[in-house]
Amino acid sequence: MIHPQQSSCRRRPLRFLGRVLGVAVAAALTTALILASVTQPTRLSVVVQRLVMAFVYSCCIAIPSALVLRRLGDMGIAQHGRLIVVMRGLVLLLMNVIGCSVGGLILVAIGILPHDQYWKEFFFAVQFGAAITLTFGLSMSFYWGVRERLESATLELRTRQMEEERAHKLLAEARLSSLESRIHPHFLFNTLNSIASLIPKDPKQAENTVGKLASLLRFSLNASQTGLVPLAQELRVVRDYLEIEKVRFGARLRYAIEVPADLEEVDVPPLSLESLVENCVKHVIALRPEGGDILVAARARGDRVDLEVSDTGPGFDLKTIPLGHGLDNLLARLVLLFGPDARLEVDRDGARRTVRLSLPRNAR
């Protein structure tokens, strides 16, 4: 009479059978105690005989009841709705009749029940067993139903916790990846070489470049502790990065930033715009002798804000971004911070390619 949908029972047949036998023993003891209190037998042998008979009947009723109810559960029958108790009750009453008939035959076969007493015992067992079967069957069904829902809720909670832990780990890896890209040897070596070349001819600019590099690295370190930052702060990092790269590429790198002042307080993921700009520098400016133009812009659109980085490159498909790429890490952070409310899109308009980051304007 175990609840049919108990998943652990389905996975562990021996445990399922053990629970059914446990219910059968409890029902047999209850039956024997009730009969003993009513008839008050004087001999121990009579008590033992009735206990054996009660156990045989209980096993013959409990095991098929549990199997049938579990089968109904596997078929998806009576999972919801008000008729579930009625259906279980009818199943239990039917199994009570079948179990009593089979149990009586077993008792006759082993010599406990005289052959000519079979039908008399059968009708008594069916009537008395109906109350016991319904009491134990429905009680255990309700118990296992509650336990199943509790286990399902616990499993769902654990799954959510695992997903949150994975998301936080992903965010940490994304931030670490962004930090590593900032301190990548090629970036540092190129920047230091540019600074070294500036020292004899333009010490002031060399000093400014060192300050911008320090500011960029400091922001990268602090970004690991911050979920969102004001757009104005992100734009300062973008300018520092572009100025550092402009020392290296000179006139090949041309850029403009067009962001309305009223959007500078909008919260954005740290190093989000910088990642888009860095992608332009790496895949357009650095690969073309003539360089290219980069435009960073932002515009309000209802309750959303669109951050755009466009260049004169050939464009790309977001679906082809490899795992671990800067844009792949950015996508992972967007999912963590905004869920489906954030979008990253790539458009092409004439000779320009635009990567658009669409975010809710009030993210906090």
Locate the domains of the chain by residue range: 7-162, 183-360
Q: In Å, how far are 6, 66, 98, 190, 239 from 133, measured between CA atoms?
A: 20, 12, 12, 83, 78
Residue 309's pLDDT is 94
**Alpha-carbon gap, residue 85 to 145, rounded angstroms:** 11
Asked if the model's pLDDT at residue 75 lies above 60, the reply is no
Per DSSP, 322 falls in state P
**Among 34-38, 214-218, 284-288, 342-346, which stretch is predicted with the lowest mean pLDDT?**
34-38
Per DSSP, 281 falls in state I
Alpha helices in the chain (DSSP H): 7-11, 13-39, 44-74, 84-109, 118-182, 185-201, 203-223, 231-249, 272-280, 326-338
Residue 323's pLDDT is 66
218-275: pLDDT as tens digits: 887 776 566 788 999 999 999 999 999 999 899 999 999 999 999 999 999 888 898 8
Closest among 145, 138, 146 to 23, alpha carbons compared:
138
**Alpha-carbon gap, residue 116 to 119, rounded angstroms:** 8
- Asked if residues 360 and 338 have their Cβ atoms less than 8 Å apart, the reply is yes
Q: In Å, how far are 33, 169, 236, 332 from 230, measured between CA atoms?
A: 76, 24, 10, 20
Q: Residues 294, 299, 305, 306: is their CA dihedral positive or negative?
A: negative
Query: Which structure tokens are listed for 354?
Result: 């635009």
Q: Residues 149, 147, 67, 64: is their CA dihedral positive or negative?
A: negative
Q: How many other CB atoms are there within 10 angstroms of residue 66's CB atom? A: 28
More confident residue, 51 or 148: 51
CATH number of 183-360: 3.30.565.10
DSSP secondary structure string for all residues of 28-74: HHHHHHHHHHHH--S-HHHHHHHHHHHHHHHHHHHHHHHHHHHHHHH
Asked if the model's pLDDT at residue 92 lies above 70, the reply is yes
Residue 283 binned pLDDT confidence (cut-offs 50, 70, 90) = confident
Residues in the chain, how many? 364
pTM over 0.75: no
**Alpha-carbon gap, residue 82 to 84, rounded angstroms:** 6
Residue 135's pLDDT is 79
**Alpha-carbon gap, residue 172 to 181, rounded angstroms:** 14
Residue 6 binned pLDDT confidence (cut-offs 50, 70, 90) = very low
**If you average pLDDT over each of 113-117, 233-237, 334-338, which comes out highest?**
233-237
**Alpha-carbon gap, residue 364 to 358, rounded angstroms:** 15
Residue 299's pLDDT is 93
**Among 74-88, 144-158, 207-221, 307-321, which stretch is predicted with the lowest mean pLDDT?**
74-88
Going by C-beta distance under 8 Å and a sequence separation of 6 or more, which residues neighbour residue 286?
Answer: 249
**Among 119-123, 173-177, 253-257, which stretch is predicted with the lowest mean pLDDT?**
173-177
Per DSSP, 319 falls in state G
